[in-house]
Structure 1
Amino acid sequence: MDVQKVEAHIVGWLKDYIQKSGTKGFVVGVSGGIDSAITSALVARTGFPVLCVEMPIHQSPEQVNRAISHIKDLEEKYFNVSFQSVNLTGVFDNFIKAMPVVNDSEQRNLSLVNSRARLRMTTLYYFAGLYSYLVAGTGNKVEDFGVGFYTKYGDGGVDLSPIADLTKTEVYKLARHLGVRSDILQAPPTDGLWGDDRTDEDQIGASYPELEWAMEKYTEGKVVGDFEGRKLEVFQIYSNLHRANQHKMLPIPVCIIPPDYKN
């Protein structure tokens, strides 16, 4: 991958999009992870105003420190970058208190995890509305179009997706080129939504390089019977998640009413 050309292409695409949209800048949620790090670095390079928002919800100090340090690095390099911290822990705790406890199952926990992501989306759009900014998404290709590893109307609720055509491996290559901090490069990928140390690989059951391999094979039309051992296991993980999460990746279905029903 020619990282210099990729960087220039994305920055040019961002500048062209915002000029045509008539908006004034970008807002991006910065979590301390690799995807939000390169997204914020790329939008900073456009020269348009960029608001980096850090939104902890029972977050580990390591994640918070990485996010803040990264944003400070950007502020030192780019005059157009500003920083806003919004601690959503109290908001989330009050949300839990307001919700009825139907059961105490893993499904309820997952629902609350997704609610965290949606609180952050709401916060980003609050600032976007204030300043007439666009919300820049941080999802990569495997998450957005492979396994659907994001929250619908949470981190999936964005105005544009600068890195959604890059695999996680390509994200790391671009991050090194952009000079992203070593602590972010070395941190295991995590969505940071569970309030513990579980990683993306813990949740999915496969690493990003494995998922990239499975995505390629799935696109080629390979089937379960073509593999065995660990490759079979990974291919099944990918295939199952890809099918189960189609509702996130496809346009919202619209019930079309036959014209004669309206006459």
Structure 2
Amino acid sequence: MTKKNTILVEEVNNHIVNWLKTYASNANVNGFVIGISGGVDSALTSTLCAQTGLQVLCVEMPIHQHKDHVSRGREHIEQLKKRFPNVSNIETDLTPVFENFKNQVPTEFDDAKLQLTLANTRARLRMTTLYYHAGVHGLLVAGTGNKVEDFGVGFYTKYGDGGVDISPIADLMKSEVFALASFLKVPDSILNAQPSDGLFGDEKTDEQQLGASYDELEWAMLAVENKLATENFSDREKKVFEIYSRLNRINQHKMNSIPVCKINNL
């Protein structure tokens, strides 16, 4: 399996930071709010936002969060605050909110469907929280999705982590996210951790959920873009291509505009 796009990290960094500053200025806002998960995407996004010199609010929103996610997120926030005086942080513990929500809705359903629905509920509670902080401080909600997640396999929650104002890293492949994060000295604990969305309260990795690694999915995305001949694929490549194609197909409802019933000449 061969890939991949490469980037000039310093040039890309400067381009994104300038884009963020220009967008914030045109929107007449004070800066950005970012949900910090302990993963590389939110660490990179917050570091890019911090370089603008505008107000950056990092928000921790634990919901039965795994201790490793919490410790990595806090390590990153403390490092970022030491490097950039415009960065502040706050924790909003959503565990009691989540538990109270579960007490108010029926839960006697198929376990797999219930657990996935509750995982998406966590993401939507966090989206609501970020927009609260954004509203009272005059900030934009900065998204943390990368290109593979946002436009390849749709690995995010609609109106959850997909509910944002701007997407600074959504044109970067996951490998490019890691390259830029390494250049910007994101903590090694984050760079070396297995990617995980943290929505199930354990260390279930993204690869376990998706059935393929980000490197493999990135390869499949580029294979589609470059119109590679599938008959030349190895058995594993065929399997990964099948996984990518299925996820891309079933998650189009996230990636496309909301369908509108048009009333024409009735």
Secondary structure of 2:57 counterpart: strand
Q: Which residue of 1 aligns with 2:52?
A: 46
Matched-pair contact (CA < 8 Å) for 1:26–1:43: yes
Q: Output aligned runs, 1:9-158, within 5 Å.
A: 9-158=15-164
Matched-pair contact (CA < 8 Å) for 1:141–1:168: yes
Q: Distance in 2 between matches of 1:228 and 1:174?
A: 31
CA displacement at 1:68 relative to structure 2: 1.0
CA displacement at 1:196 relative to structure 2: 1.5
Match of 1:230 among 232, 236, 239: 236
With 20-29 and 93-102 compared, the bigger mean Cα shift is at: 93-102
Count of paired positions: 260
With 98-107 and 145-154 compared, the bigger mean Cα shift is at: 98-107
> Is residue 181 from structure 1 mapped to residue 187 from structure 2 by the alignment?
yes
Q: Which residue of 2 aligns with 1:242?
A: 248
Q: Distance in 2 between matches of 1:228 and 1:76?
A: 48
Deviations along 1:209-237, whole A, 9 cap, x unmatched?
Answer: 10000001112234654534100000000
Q: Which residue of 1 aligns with 2:3?
A: none
Q: Distance in 2 between matches of 1:11 and 1:170?
A: 16
Q: Which residue of 1 aligns with 2:200?
A: 194
Matched-pair contact (CA < 8 Å) for 1:205–1:237: yes
The alignment's TM-score, normalised by the length of structure 1, stands at 0.96
Matched-pair contact (CA < 8 Å) for 1:139–1:164: yes
Matched-pair contact (CA < 8 Å) for 1:146–1:242: yes
With 122-131 and 219-228 compared, the bigger mean Cα shift is at: 219-228
Q: Which residue of 1 aligns with 2:14?
A: 8
Question: Larger relative CO (CA 8 A, sep 6+): 1 or 2?
Answer: 2
Q: Which residue of 1 aligns with 2:224?
A: 218
CA displacement at 1:132 relative to structure 2: 1.2
The alignment's TM-score, normalised by the length of structure 2, stands at 0.95
Q: List alignment gaps of at least 5 residues for structure 2.
A: 1-6
Matched-pair contact (CA < 8 Å) for 1:224–1:236: no
Letter in 1 for 2:246: N
Q: CA RMSD, aligned part only?
A: 1.1
Deviations along 1:106-154, whole A, 9 cap, x unmatched?
Answer: 0111001000000000000000110110000000000000000000000
Q: Distance in 1 between matches of 2:200 and 2:229?
A: 33
Secondary structure of 2:59 counterpart: strand
Secondary structure of 1:50 counterpart: strand
Deviations along 1:180-222, whole A, 9 cap, x unmatched?
Answer: 0000001100000001121000000000010000001112234
Q: Distance in 1 between matches of 2:176 and 2:60?
A: 24
> Is residue 204 from structure 1 mapped to residue 210 from structure 2 by the alignment?
yes
